[in-house]
Amino acid sequence: MRTVASFIFTSAMFLMLACAPPPAENQNAAAAVASPAQSATPQPSATPQQPATPGAAATQAASEVGDVRVTAITHASFQIEYGGRVIHVDPTSPGDYSAARQADLVLVTDIHQDHLDPAAIAKVRKAGAPVVAPAAAADKIESPTVIANGETKSVAGISIEAVPMYNLQRGPAPGQLFHTKGRGNGYVLTLGARRVYIAGDTECTDEMRALKGIDVAFVPMNLPYTMPPAEAAACVKAFKPKVVFPYHYRGQNPEEFREAVRGEPIEVRLLKWY
């Protein structure tokens, strides 16, 4: 009897195991497969986010003024094409240069990292292409062409005039300025029949207000480093360029600038900088 009972019990246990659902696969296997992908996903940067840029509704990155083509890269960085030549202004590594052309000429306006980036210069510069810069930036650039405020030089077949760019009142502390006069350069380029003004980091200086015959202007408008849109508009009304590209405006609303110059014979074009 004991043998029969044992047989019956064993048989019942076998049937129960045979009819039970198969054991689930190792749940950690899926996690193990996902781990490499998760680890490859870039983690959020520890760098604080830049202020939002309201009103930046422009969807195009490029615009043409006659035979001059402008392509926004980022913030203060852009590309100019004219007569088969390519000019890069303040190239910086955060910019997307995947579709950019190699530079026949590079312009650097100042010593701050959003204007002076040796790695980005090396990336966009054709072999032997000149890099024009103020003396304060020269030691970071290989074989620079130095130009001082007020000087005019012909470089790569282009006439380049260095215009002072500086703060009048804004700085990191009382009695200090973010940009001192003589350190950085704005530039006026003569491209065929057109004069193109690149302001750099500046407030509304007497030198800017006194400019004549400017066809295309790039004017900054961000605080606290340069000037707000209303101030930039007042300055632009003084020298009356035909076309203005607001740039270097992170945290500001370029639409305020457009509204402030409404009614003037000045065309405002908004490009996608951010």
pLDDT band at 272 (very low <50, low <70, confident <90, very high): very high
Condensed to tens digits (0 to 9), the pLDDT of residues 204-248 reads 999 999 999 999 999 999 999 999 999 999 999 999 999 999 999
Q: The pTM is what?
A: 0.80
Mean pLDDT in residue range 250-274: 97
Mean pLDDT in residue range 175-194: 98
For residue 44, pLDDT over 90 is answered with no
Which element (helix H / strand E) includes 257? helix 254-260
Each domain of the chain, given as residue ranges in start order, spans 62-268
Comparing 87 with 13, the larger pLDDT belongs to: 87
**Token pair recorded at residue 144:** 């620079």
79-88 long-range contacts (CB < 8 A, ≥24 apart) are 79/103, 80/189, 80/191, 80/196, 82/191, 82/192, 83/191, 83/192, 85/156, 85/157, 85/158, 87/158, 87/189, 88/124, 88/125
For residue 190, pLDDT over 90 is answered with yes
Condensed to tens digits (0 to 9), the pLDDT of residues 49-75 reads 445 665 555 679 999 999 999 999 999
Tell me the average pLDDT of the chain. Answer: 85
CATH of domain 62-268: 3.60.15.10
Q: Which amino acid, 132?
A: V
**Token pair recorded at residue 203:** 């407030």
Residue 126: per-residue pLDDT: 98
Residue 24: per-residue pLDDT: 33
Q: Which amino acid, 55?
A: G
Q: Which of 72, 64, 127 is nearest to 99 (CA)?
A: 72
pLDDT band at 42 (very low <50, low <70, confident <90, very high): very low
For residue 115, pLDDT over 90 is answered with yes
Give the distance between the most distant pair of CA atoms in the chain: 118
CB of 268 closer than 8 Å to CB of 242: no
For residue 38, pLDDT over 80 is answered with no
Question: Which range (11-20, 28-37, 242-251) has the least confidence?
Answer: 28-37
CA atoms within a 13 Å half-sphere pointing along the CA-CB vector of 214: 31
CB of 102 closer than 8 Å to CB of 85: no
CB of 249 closer than 8 Å to CB of 272: no
Percent of the chain with pLDDT over 70: 79
Residue 23: per-residue pLDDT: 33
CA distances from 181 to 136, 170, 207 (A): 12, 13, 11
For residue 12, pLDDT over 70 is answered with no
**Token pair recorded at residue 24:** 């689930």
